[in-house]
Amino acid sequence: MLEYDFMQTAFAAGTVVAIVSGAVGYFLVLRNLTFAGHALSHVGFAGATGALLLGVPPFWGLLIFTLVASTGMGLLGERLRGRDVAVGVILSLSLGLGVLFLSLYTSYATQATALLFGNVLGVSRGSLASLALLGVVSLAALTVISRPLLFATLDPELAEAKGVSLRLVSVLFLLIVGVAVAEAVQIVGILLVFALMVGPAAAALRLAPGLKTGVLLSILLAVTETWAGIALSFYTDWPPTFWITLLGSGVYLLSLLAPRAARRAAPAEHGHAHTVDAD
């Protein structure tokens, strides 16, 4: 399997994206912003199809649109939570714009399919370099803001009283999410970003006893699911996106069977903050 250059590139790209998605996704789930992250991917679809229409590489259009939308959402700060209707409207509008752009230039329908459902086997060496660079930047930025981000997530009122700018933290974090979404789209597509950014993180939040172990477990699950999905795709000729989403869903469902972890995560299911030990 690894004798083929495209498979080597696929594994390398999948590893980079899985590491970023696992780390960023953990905080995304912890902050109850998974729907906002999903909406960013749809905003990116409008940017990518618009870029195709202008003759620009779709990845850069996707990235620019997600960063702009991330900034807008981040400016809402803590008010973004519970704004499901507003986020849903943005999500549907973005898909509508994407459909419009495609209808104006139908010759890009194949590329649009790759954007919607991902194509890790088609990642080029040049794209791999871009993914690696953005991945390093994202992880470095997440490391820098991780402490105030965790503080603002678990106790926003106290964090604000201590001088932490909730709005600034929100903007910075969602910018990082925007980059992570743009990267994840290359692997699992716009419609299935949840599989790589939310599935491993949600399972890790239930299974791991603290922050550091939770982030590491989320990354480990994301990488393992991505590697296994690519390998199974090679031997079955089924799409890697299918296998990655199937494995991600399966791991999350299995995590529900852990009674001790389920009790710890139960408050989050009722709209309250997650309980996480900052080990």
Domain 5-195, architecture per CATH: Orthogonal Bundle (1.10)
CB 30 within 8 A of CB 274: yes
What are the boundaries of each domain within the chain?
Answer: 5-195
Residue-level pLDDT at 222: 93
Whole-angstrom distance, CA of residue 274 vs CA of residue 29: 9
- Going from the C-alpha of 159 to that of each of 105, 151, 163, 169, 170, the distances in angstroms are 49, 6, 7, 11, 13
Q: What is the mean pLDDT of the chain?
A: 79
pLDDT in tens, the chain (279 residues): 888 888 999 899 889 989 999 999 999 888 888 777 777 777 877 888 788 778 777 778 888 888 888 787 777 655 555 556 666 667 777 777 777 777 776 666 666 666 766 677 777 787 788 888 888 998 999 999 888 888 888 887 887 788 877 778 888 888 888 888 888 877 777 767 777 888 899 999 988 888 889 999 999 999 999 999 999 999 998 888 889 989 988 999 998 887 554 444 433 433 444 455 555
pLDDT (tens digit per residue) in 178-217: 888 888 877 777 767 777 888 899 999 988 888 889 999 9
Provide Rg for the chain, Cα atoms: 18
pLDDT tens digit sequence for 142-172? 999 888 888 888 887 887 788 877 778 888 8
